[in-house]
Amino acid sequence: MIAPGATLGVLGGGQLGRMFAMAAHRLGYRVAVLDPDRDCPAAGVANVHICAALDDHKAWHALAGACAAVTIETESAPAEALAFFAARLPVAPGEQALRITQDRAREKRFLAANGFGVVPFRVIATEADAAAPDIDALLPGLLKASRFGYDGKGQFSVRSRQELVSAARQLGGPGVLEQRVELAAELSVILARSADGATAVHPVPLNRHASGILDLSVVPAPLPHDISHLAVAESMRLAALLDYRGVLCVEFFLTADDRLLVNEIAPRPHNSGHFTLDACHTSQFEQQVRVLAGLPLGDPGLTAPHHGVAMANLLGQLWAEGEPRWEEALSNPHARLHLYGKSSPRPGRKMGHLTCIADSATDAQALASRIRSNSRPTLVPESAGEARPARLHAAASWRDMLEARLS
Ligand code: AMP
């Protein structure tokens, strides 16, 4: 066991690294983060920020010197880095698990070879692969980059072989063509697994995506219990096969014709597990800390098991007219606002999230959606002059208030 007071290292400094650091601090650990961006979300909360590329060997030496154990917050971290750290320190996850899960082609082959349901696919390594006549059976489909794709980035919707060939050319590297399947639902399993194989599974969320990006997660997933149960069993089998250490997320498709398919695996905490911060005894980030430090896993269950939870992502477009109005998110006792400290709110960029707890999953979803849409800054009607953000219920200034009280 690594005692509190020690420094835990993380490769990557995005919001997942930030929330890992916050969980580590609560248990008395220090945190060192390696990330090339001076203003990355984790930089503001980590004790040490090594500002360098994730494949910078000098930085690896510096991090190894500063830390008692190392984890990742992104699958873009080089697997060789984990091999480097594993020769010196405890690491979670291990190099092999990262190698498989960071490469879509390798991951799909691994899943198919081990009997997991996957969408019909073909690895497209060359233009000739894209032009193969038997590829038609997979169309219409999606060509996805094998590496470094996220939130729908590096993906092309293709309907014909010509479109596929041109998409493969644009991709400029290896990809995976997936048949487009009709989805009935998307769900995910988030679990933590220790070096000794002990496993703790969080309640299963149902996930709704918009434009390839997670929009809402709802817990408990409003699905027949057997489906969530099967997804958990398959995820535990997968974690054992990978000899996994750390927090793992397995995303599933439930197809319209009732197949349960593994979409992809994330070797780290996942956006669809953010509800665990406010709704579970132990969050996915605290589990990540616990596994890394060799502490016992925490209870992954809901603190209010008869309630429903919803997590709504707050993307950059919510900032299009200026800073959102947070009054309702901050004043409603059933809502919790999380902001990641990012300064440039580009459309599609994950800026924060909102968690709501209510009597049922449906009520929680309605509340989260309502508070999020009420947070959008409203424009003053055109007749009132040039359009500008308005605070519709802005309080009077303190000077006016004071004057009114005194008069
Ligand atoms: P991904 O980044 O691969 O998880 O894809 C993002 C989202 O696009 C998924 O969560 C689905 O909503 C949708 N999607 C991805 N692949 C497929 C597919 N083969 N068939 C239908 N929808 C898909």
Ligand 1: lining residues by beta carbon, under 6 Å: 119, 142, 144, 152, 178, 180-181, 183, 186, 209, 212, 263-264
Residue 129 has pLDDT above 60, yes or no: yes
- CA 119 – ligand 1 centroid, Å: 10
83 in any annotated domain: yes
Looking at residue 131, its pLDDT comes to 86
Q: Tell whether 146 and 87 lie within a shared domain.
A: no
Work out the average pLDDT over 113-123. 97
Residue 196 has pLDDT above 50, yes or no: yes
Average pLDDT, the chain: 93
Closest ligand 1 atom to Cα of 180: 20
Closest ligand 1 atom to Cα of 251: 4
Residue nearest to atom 7 of ligand 1 (CA): 212
Q: Tell whether 64 and 128 lie within a shared domain.
A: no
The CA-atom distances, in angstroms, between 176 and each of 80, 138, 144, 156 are 23, 11, 5, 10
Looking at residue 133, its pLDDT comes to 83
What CATH number does the domain containing 366 carry? 3.30.470.20
| Tally of structural domains, the chain | 3
* 146: number of Cβ within 10 Å: 21
* Ligand 1 mutation target, pool 263, 271, 313, 350, most atoms within 8 A of CB: 263
205 in any annotated domain: no
* 400: number of Cβ within 10 Å: 10
The four Cα atoms 37, 285, 201, 182 give a dihedral, to 10 degrees, of: -30
What CATH number does the domain containing 15 carry? 3.40.50.20
Domain that residue 343 falls in: 308-406
Closest ligand 1 atom to Cα of 104: 3
Q: Which two tokens stand for residue 127?
A: 């233009």
* Ligand 1 mutation target, pool 119, 155, 253, most atoms within 8 A of CB: 253
Q: Please say which residue of 156, 179, 202 terminates a domain.
A: 179
400 in any annotated domain: yes
Residue 138 has pLDDT above 70, yes or no: yes
What is the tens place of the pLDDT at every residue in 200-225?
A: 999 999 999 999 999 999 999 999 99
CA distance 268 to 98: 10
Q: Tell me if 143 sits within 8 A of 168, measured CB to CB.
A: yes
Looking at residue 335, its pLDDT comes to 98
Residue nearest to atom 9 of ligand 1 (CA): 212
Closest ligand 1 atom to Cα of 152: 2
Residue nearest to atom 13 of ligand 1 (CA): 212
* Poorest-pLDDT segment among 57-71, 74-88, 154-168, 357-371: 154-168
Residue nearest to atom 17 of ligand 1 (CA): 180
Q: Tell whether 315 and 392 lie within a shared domain.
A: yes
13 in any annotated domain: yes
Residue nearest to atom 1 of ligand 1 (CA): 152
- The rounded radius of gyration (Å) of the Cα atoms in the chain is 23
Find the farthest-apart pair of alpha carbons in the chain and give their distance in angstroms, rounded. 85
Q: Tell me if 322 sits within 8 A of 355, measured CB to CB.
A: no
* Ligand 1 mutation target, pool 183, 186, 206, 272, most atoms within 8 A of CB: 183
- CA 139 – ligand 1 centroid, Å: 15
247 in any annotated domain: no
- CA 122 – ligand 1 centroid, Å: 15
DSSP conformational letter for 270: -
Residue nearest to atom 18 of ligand 1 (CA): 180
Residue nearest to atom 6 of ligand 1 (CA): 212
Q: Tell whether 328 and 372 lie within a shared domain.
A: yes
Q: Please say which residue of 131, 154, 179 terminates a domain.
A: 179
CA distance 223 to 204: 10
Residue 387 has pLDDT above 50, yes or no: no
Task: Output the pTM of the full model.
Answer: 0.92
Residue 370's pLDDT band, with cuts at 50, 70 and 90, is very high
The CA-atom distances, in angstroms, between 148 and each of 121, 144, 145, 213, 366 are 18, 10, 7, 15, 34
Residue 126's pLDDT band, with cuts at 50, 70 and 90, is confident
Looking at residue 52, its pLDDT comes to 98
- CA 253 – ligand 1 centroid, Å: 8
Q: Tell whether 88 and 142 lie within a shared domain.
A: no
What CATH number does the domain containing 127 carry? 3.30.1490.20
Q: Please say which residue of 159, 179, 199 terminates a domain.
A: 179
What is the tens place of the pLDDT at every residue in 38-81?
A: 999 999 999 999 999 999 999 999 999 999 999 999 999 999 99
Residue nearest to atom 2 of ligand 1 (CA): 152
CA distance 172 to 178: 17
Q: Tell whether 127 and 86 lie within a shared domain.
A: no
Residue 390's pLDDT band, with cuts at 50, 70 and 90, is very low
Q: Tell me if 285 sits within 8 A of 23, measured CB to CB.
A: yes
